[in-house]
Amino acid sequence: MTPSHLPDFNATRRTVLISLSAGVVALAMPQGTLAQTAGGGVLKFGLSTFPPTLKPFDNTGGAANTVKLMLYRGLMGYDATGKLVNEIAESVAWSNPTTAVFKLRPNAVFHDGSPVTAADVVFSLNEITKQGSSAYLKSDLKIISAVEAVDDKTVQITLKAPSAIFLDLLASYCCPVISAKSTDSDVIGAGPFTLKGSEKGVFIELARFKDYYLSDQPHVDGIRFIAYADENLRYAALAAGDVDLIEYLPWTQFDAVEASKTLKMKTTLGPFMFLLFNVTDGPFANAKVRQAVGYAIERQDVVDAAFAGRGVPLYGLPNPKGSPFDLSDPAHEWKYDVDKAKALLAEAGYPNGFECRLLATATYGMHQDTASVVQAYLAAIGINATLDLPDWGTRVTAGKEGKYNIAVHGTSGNYNDPDALWSLLYSGNPSYLQSFGFKSARIDGLLEQGRNEVDPEKRKTIYQQLVVAYYEEVPQVPLNWRIQAYAMKQSVEGFEQLPGFLSGSSAYALDETKLG
Amino acid sequence: MLAFISRRLATAVVMLLVIGTIIFSLLIIVPGDPAELLLSTGGGSATPEAIANLRSTMGLDKPVLVQYATFLYDTARLDFGTSIVDSGSISSAIALRLPRTLEIIVVGAILALAVAIPTGTAAGLRAGGRFDIAASAVNALLTSVPGFVVGTLFIYFFAQVLGWLPAGGYVAFAANPAQHLQMLILPSVTVGLHLATIVFRMTRASVLEMRGHDWVRTAVAKGLRRKRVVRRHILHNALGPIITVVGLQLGILLGSTVLVEFVYNWPGLSGLLVSAVEQRDYPTVRAVILTVAAIFIAINTVIDILSSLLDPRIRLQ
């Protein structure tokens, strides 16, 4: 007998059986644990990332802003259609173009039970503008010259100049009213939900605040935010019924949701993709070369390759959906035209093209895919771009320090007005959101005029001039609007995606969301 | 023996110091500013003033040498400090997450050993037979499929199509034991599959080598029963290399379950490390890497000591 005839299969069989039965037992465990959502009244919301912080005045990303809007509210807000509405303010009256008087809701209370007073509003605005703050709206709110508590429930705000968008700033997720008793580690807000529990990186659990100033809202008893960093898993979690609602539905899953009987989605044209240039030296210092890039790219291909067709080409100034002005001006747009692009390059002195570095990031697939399409189209007019795809953190620093020739970026404004492009176009400190070294007194002047003018007709004329200046000076080359989607179970009712640049403020609609 | 152990331990401490210094230096070289990143997460940009204020809060405005000295001093006292992003205690974050990573690794390893040692033995004893050919083919297939592909397929079938298991996520065992176990199945099977392929190959090769030795023939010739020959004379001797490989793999898995944790949204140590790197949360990155390194070195040291007990020749090398 040779050793090869020795195997003892009993042990194997036993082991296999034991493992199999363990698996069966686990699978047979009550499925009720998986289907807890129905009837519980707690909305399970799949976030794209875990909020790095919930500091009320800092902007630390879309996920953080969503949670913040549930915990804190400001004087103003938006309804589900994107219209400005009063939140903690019961009424607003402009006694002159630079003085606004806000009456606070008599029944507005903080989560600790104390009433929201004018002193708290003064405290909150001062927290934003004070020396040493890292608040997102610090420079925007420098327009305030004085905030006074007239009485317990009345606040008067005086501005240094008239502002068409001041109330939009007050409706921002970075401008909440918090209690003057708040500390860095214990922020007391007056939002529709209170913080019940959380674990870093995993979940945040909120409970309905029963003394919220709108007595009929919110409709759900609580919200459990669960972070799913992988977009496909986020969708899988929705499809499997683990969560009720997800943000940032991946573009590749739009078809699946449309075909599904159990899921639905709400979409808007929100953020947009664009190219930035280092204009301090080299060919891109010449506006003609930047215009040539504008004409060289077939934008539908970017939409198809990077966004599964879920986007719309953008040929000129990115005026958001929901903007009060129609600024379309086909004479000042870059439609795909290779001959024109080549002619402009020749005119600028580069008939044979040149070499350059194209910066994007490997962290976000859409940035990387956009860069690949752009690279191919640039090659067609003789511009040979080498892709540089570091991680996001490195990309932000490289953008700010001008370590690139062309860069791909995508972002959104904060409200539906051309003024929302301020942080992208107004020259100031170096920022990864702007072309490195680009400065235009003409564009800066138009932005200032538009912000300080309150007459809509005059503002429209100013922004029409901005469209022309944008086309001629090329601070950026726009590529496309992205369709942004929230996906949810059919049974989720009342949730709407806010239009255009307000997409990131859609959490306001959670107040009216119901679980069917 | 004592000299051997103390020599090993001294080496371990020096290695940790070197690793700590390397991580510290690398993080300084890597571009990206944590303060700026945090304030531009929303796609916005922050003013230089706001960034400077946050940098000073994070303690990043101090000279590098001061930061290094503080790091060494604190680490020596086992004080990892707080995250510069959210000011949470790093030690408690690691204490919370390390057991979860260990959980999927240990459960995965148990599953892997339970399947791979018997099948590997069977395949090795009848090398070239039908079972060996079939098992080796399956093994080759599984070896070449990366964990995240297996994970994605598992989620598709078991969560989306069949609806048997959650797509991913985590619930504490204390909060809901049944749901915890359901969520544990897919990640640990995924980790286990990879380990099983390695253990299968090692077992098969080792058994194949052992069964040709003289003492096995002697044992058979003595008239010992098959079971006894396989267990005592073949498997026992074949286990040495298997233990070494499994031990090393467990250490490697600690740092490389990242894809599995990501795919299944399992909030373990790797996930903490990845998000810390993305946010340039330097103290957290250093603490997690040092912890993983310490465990890896500890496992190696234990294996060395164990091997030297099994085989005294190793002590003399």
- Are residues A227 and A167 located together in one domain of the fold? yes
Q: Which of chain B's residues have a Cβ under 8 Å away from the Cβ of A50?
A: 275
> Smallest CA–CA separation between A96 and chain B, in Å?
31
Residues A179 and A207 in one domain: yes
Residue of B nearest to A421 (CA): B44
The range of the structural domain enclosing residue A202 comes to 1-31+38-262+490-516
More confident site: B255 or B237: B237
What CATH code is carried by the domain that includes residue A321? 3.10.105.10
Please state the three-class secondary structure of A215-265 as a single string: CCCCCCCEEEEEECCCHHHHHHHHHCCCCCEECCCCHHHHHHHHHCCCEEE
What is the CATH classification number for the domain harbouring A235?
A: 3.40.190.10
Distance from CA of B241 to the nearest CA of A (A): 21
**Tens digit of pLDDT for each residue in A75-105?**
999 998 999 999 999 999 999 999 999 999 9
CA–CA distance from B284 to each of B39, B71, B291, B309 (Å)? Answer: 19, 12, 10, 37
- Sign of the CA dihedral running B287, B293, B296, B298: negative
pLDDT score of B142 more than 60: yes
Is A94 in CB contact (< 8 Å) with chain B? Answer: no
A410 vs B contacts (CB less than 8 Å)? 43
> Are residues A7 and A155 both part of a single domain?
yes
How many domains in chain A? 2
Same domain for A456 and A515, yes or no, is: no
Question: Considering only CA atoms, which of B16, B34, B74, B21 is closest in space to residue B277?
Answer: B34
The pLDDT of residue B314 is: 65
Domain shared by A289 and A349, yes or no: yes
A46 lies in the same domain as A181: yes
Contact at CB, A411 and B43, closer than 8 angstroms: yes
pLDDT at position A5: 41
Global pTM reads: 0.82
Tens digits of residue pLDDT in A380-394 = 999 999 999 998 888
Q: A312-345, pLDDT tens digit by residue?
A: 999 999 999 889 999 999 999 999 999 999 999 9
Same domain, A422 and A385: yes
| B261 pLDDT tier (thresholds 50, 70, 90) | confident
Coil, helix or strand at residue A160 = coil
Q: What is d(CA A345, CA A356) in angstroms, rounded to the nearest whole number?
A: 14
Interface of A with B in 137-166 (CB under 8 A): 138-139
Per-residue pLDDT averaged across A168-193, rounded? 94
Same domain, A248 and A310: no
Residues A12, A64, single domain; the answer is yes
CA dihedral B122, B123, B127, B133 (to 10 degrees): 140
**Rounded Cα–Cα distance for residues B113 and A516 (Å):** 47
A76 contact B CB<8A:
no
Rounded to a whole number of angstroms, the distance from the CA of A161 to the nearest CA of chain B is 22
pLDDT, residue B43, reads 63
Same domain, A465 and A495: no
Q: Which residue has the tokens 């592909």?
A: B149
- Residues in chain A closer than 8 A to B178 (CB atoms): 29-30, 33
Q: Do A189 and A216 sit in the same domain of this protein?
A: yes
Greatest mean pLDDT range, A380-384, B101-105, B309-313: A380-384
Mean pLDDT to the nearest integer, A219-225: 95
Shared domain for A227 and A307, answered yes or no, is: no
d(CA A490, CA A478) in angstroms, rounded, equals 35
CB proximity B96 to A under 8 Å: yes
Least confident of A74-88, A427-441, A453-467: A427-441
The answer to whether A426 contacts chain B (CB < 8 Å) is no
